[in-house]
Amino acid sequence: MKGKGEWGGWSYTFWRVVSTFNANIFRCFNESMSSQSGLCFVVMLRFKRTKTFCQRFLPSFPWKEKMASVVPPRTQDLHGVPRTHLNPDEPTDAYPMFGVHAVPKKHPGKIRVWVDGCFDMLHFGHTNAIRQARVLGDELFVGCHSDEEIKRYKGPPIMQEQERYEALRGCKWVTFVVENYPYVTRLKDMERFEIDFVVHGDDISVGLDGRNSYQEIIDAGKFKVVKRTDGISTTDLVGRMLLCTKTHHTGSVDDAASATSAVVDAAASHHMRYLTTGRKIAQFSNNRSPGPKDLVVYIDGSFDLFHIGHMRVLQQAKNLLSPAGMHDSLTPKLRELVATEGFTHVFVIVGIHEDAVVNSFKGSNYPIMNLNERALGVLSSVHVDDVVMGVPFVVTKEMIQSLGVHAVVGGRVRDEYQGAHAAIDPYEVPKAEGIFVSVNSGCDLTTDSLIERIVQQRNEFIARQKAKAVKDKASQDAKPAEYRNVKEVA
């Protein structure tokens, strides 16, 4: 038998008894996935005590490797989608991180860049920062915070965490999304994911302790700053959405009503102030034309507050030549055309309605975002090849011929049309031609339902807006000199 300080005999027996007991408890915790429960504390405490005992009394005990073998890497099944646990070797970490698959291997010579954030209502301000970060490297990893983390630091998010994760995966500049990432960026995670440097806009965030949430990264010399896109933010969009709900009943007292007025008036003063340049459109564009083996697919809409409902319809359009698309979606005429022409790829053209057209069939203060802003959101999608701005409400034969369109796609879930437009079928021509394809995104999210979320939590969002305005001003006033006058990455 081996004595104290050696791995074997009595020490092994003791460790197996304790660790097996702990592992069984931890497996129960995994199944419940209740990180806020008292059980979480008990499990973490027991693992910590086992680890401390082994380190003190069994110096040669390979506790880290053995615990990893007792508690295997786990997966998390949310909404029927499997998740791969990315840090299973740290079972007591308060932030178990997940991805849709394992971390891709980093090839020699490649530069891997990191950005993280809330990415609530992923808009072109977010995606422009993502674009700039990707230009600086070969691969871009994005860490996204959970709903609970955002509530803790900033207030209630509009989009649910699974919606935000999916939206990021649909962005064409993103290589890999790390789910449930902490608000304060950790150097150990950058080492785990083999990150070369971290990027953030020049509006640096602050943790609950008042410190720069990237201080550890800055101290390690792995931090770079890119220019924030002025004129657009989630806070700004919430203000615009509050404009659309100004007449809704809130059931609040007078001071809440006056707060609403102040926030809405402030939002109105900045409404649609972003001015899009041709250079910005070029930065977001793919700069390619349809090839001879491309099935050209056209899909139109307002694409206001670009969200995962839009993304899923675009994905369905992009996948029309997949086995499922050929079987379930294509009309007989389109199947014959594909067989005759030998199409191998799909080229998706998105038509975006101009502001006046959207307002005519939506009414109220729609659209929330102007035409250029909506175009930039659509162009950030991995499923989009080109956009046409300012298209008419009705798809005409002349438009189909002019764009060289083979198929026209429409989603089954959309906002209701108002007034005279309610009686118009915008797809009458492509349906008569036998080239219309109706697709089901499997998502009931619409622009109207997003605004309804604001209505349901109106007072919370008003409070968030006011707090954010104060915080942003303080952050701007305290911005270090090196973060001022930052130039945008082309």
pLDDT digit string (tens) for 184-240?
999 999 999 999 999 999 877 665 555 688 999 999 999 999 998 888 888 888 888
Q: What is the C-alpha to C-alpha distance for residues 108 and 187, in angstroms, rounded to an integer?
A: 21
Which of 124, 109, 107, 117 is closest to 146 using CA atoms? 117
Could you identify the residue written with the tokens 């993304």? 311
Residue 487 has pLDDT above 70, yes or no: yes
Q: What is the pTM of this model?
A: 0.77
Extents of the domains making up the chain? 9-72, 98-232, 234-274+448-477, 278-446
CATH of domain 98-232: 3.40.50.620
Render pLDDT for 9-36 as a digit per residue (tens, 0 to 9): 444 344 444 444 444 444 444 434 433 4
What kind of fold does domain 278-446 have according to CATH? Rossmann fold (3.40.50)
Higher pLDDT, 284 or 242: 284
Stretch 265-286: mean pLDDT: 70
Confidence of residue 421 (pLDDT cuts 50, 70, 90): low
Q: What is the C-alpha to C-alpha distance for residues 75 and 352, in angstroms, rounded to an integer?
A: 39
> Fold identical between 98-232 and 278-446?
yes
Confidence of residue 242 (pLDDT cuts 50, 70, 90): confident
Average pLDDT, the chain: 80
Residue-level pLDDT at 80: 63
